[in-house]
Structure 1
Amino acid sequence: MLNLFSLKNEQKEQGGDGSGSGGATKGKKNSAAQLRITKDINELELPKTCRTEFPDPDDLLNFKLLISPDEGFYRGGRFTFSFKIGPNYPHEPPKTKCLTKVYHPNIDLDGNVCLNILREDWKPVLTINSIVYGLQYLFLEPNPEDPLNKEAANELQANRRLFEQNVHRTMRGGSINGVYFERCLK
């Protein structure tokens, strides 16, 4: 954790000329949300099926998580989630969306994710690590009891085999009920 803080401080010292305007702008980067997300990312313990991407290495408040399940219905797929950390983090959860269209009971076709810790069960003691493991678990054990995609949830409950076939069809790049899913197999 200290290494990243030290690196950021060194960058500020090297880039800053001591003028009042530059210092004020750079001070905004050290918000409580920025400090906490820096700590969370430094302490991140990703399973082998997950990795992060930072499109802008200087912006830790916006990043992507790639999940490639190695078991379950979604084995072999690659799913990308965006994370947007707001100014009230850790008192509010990050905005998390699935960028990969997926046939899943807990992820709707717009990428909204039904995960309790991203909503009513969020607590400031939870970290990005908690969310990563929660998302990974959704791919291992989809929850038809709390669906965003009711059609997928009903199918999972009524006919598990058909649900599995539909998941595989969509991951290969196919359509279900007129909705096209791009290939997401790795």
Structure 2
Amino acid sequence: MLTLARKLKKDDAGKAGRSSATSDSAHRVSIRDRLLTKGTQLHSTCKASFPDENKLHHFQLSVSPDEGYYQSGKFQFEVDVPEAYNMVPPKVRCLTRIWHPNITENGEICLSLLREHSIDGTGWAPTRTLKDVVWGLNSLFTDLLNFDDPLNIDAAEHHLRDKLFRNKTKKEKTNSFALNYSKK
């Protein structure tokens, strides 16, 4: 199986005649970035932004759910695609403080496709793309909202314990965390 790192080494060996290390690193970045742009398609509730347009492998994703518990919120994620991408998953962290059973308040995310190794076979595989990651992050607020296998146990227990509390807390937390974040 071809990996990005192997492709880069092969290209580097083939272009041994190049004299400038800077041009090699620019060439290396451009190959990875071209591969990344092919694999990214955004859902209508998602928007990508690139803090440094020269580093397409490091970007932010904004998810604004249009249904479910977190409707009307705006949640920011930081995505970093490693050099070994397609053999290893991207590193993703939630930047918006959130009360969610599958996301800690520190930004750690429980999403099986982001796991390098998974017992149930739903973890990362070289056939997965950034499109799958975007879909998964978006679905954390709708279809994949999981109270049975939480990362944030307190949030899951609160959600399960009291429906009225769940609806009130969801609205309050979304208003204070996600809506305020989008105004920054």
TM-score bracket, shorter-length normalisation: 0.7 to 0.9
Q: Deviations over 1:62-120 (max 9, x none)?
A: 00100000111111000000001112111111100000000100000100000000012
User: 2:180 corresponds to which residue?
Assistant: 183
Whole-Å separation in 2 of the counterparts to 1:27 and 1:185: 35
Whole-Å separation in 2 of the counterparts to 1:41 and 1:25: 18
Whole-Å separation in 1 of the counterparts to 2:70 and 2:113: 22
Runs of 4+ in 1 over 4 A off after TM superposition: none
Residue correspondences, number: 159
User: 2:133 corresponds to which residue?
Assistant: 131
**Contact 1:49/1:70 (CA < 8 Å) preserved in 2?**
yes
Note the aligned Cα RMSD (angstroms). Answer: 2.2
SS in 2 for 1:122: coil
**Contact 1:170/1:183 (CA < 8 Å) preserved in 2?**
no
Structure 1: 5+ residue stretches without partners: 1-17, 175-180
Instruction: Say if 2:20 is the partner of 1:23.
Output: no
SS in 2 for 1:166: helix
Whole-Å separation in 2 of the counterparts to 1:88 and 1:43: 15
Whole-Å separation in 2 of the counterparts to 1:77 and 1:38: 31
Q: TM-score, normalised by structure 2?
A: 0.78
Instruction: Say if 2:56 is the partner of 1:60.
Output: yes
**Residue pairs, 1:48-127, within 5 angstroms:** 48-119=44-115, 120=118, 121-127=123-129
What one-letter code is carried by the residue in structure 2 that aligns with 1:183? N
Instruction: Say if 2:172 is the partner of 1:169.
Output: yes
Instruction: Say if 2:159 is the partner of 1:156.
Output: yes
Structure 2: 5+ residue stretches without partners: 1-17
Superposed displacement of residue 182, structure 1 = 7.4
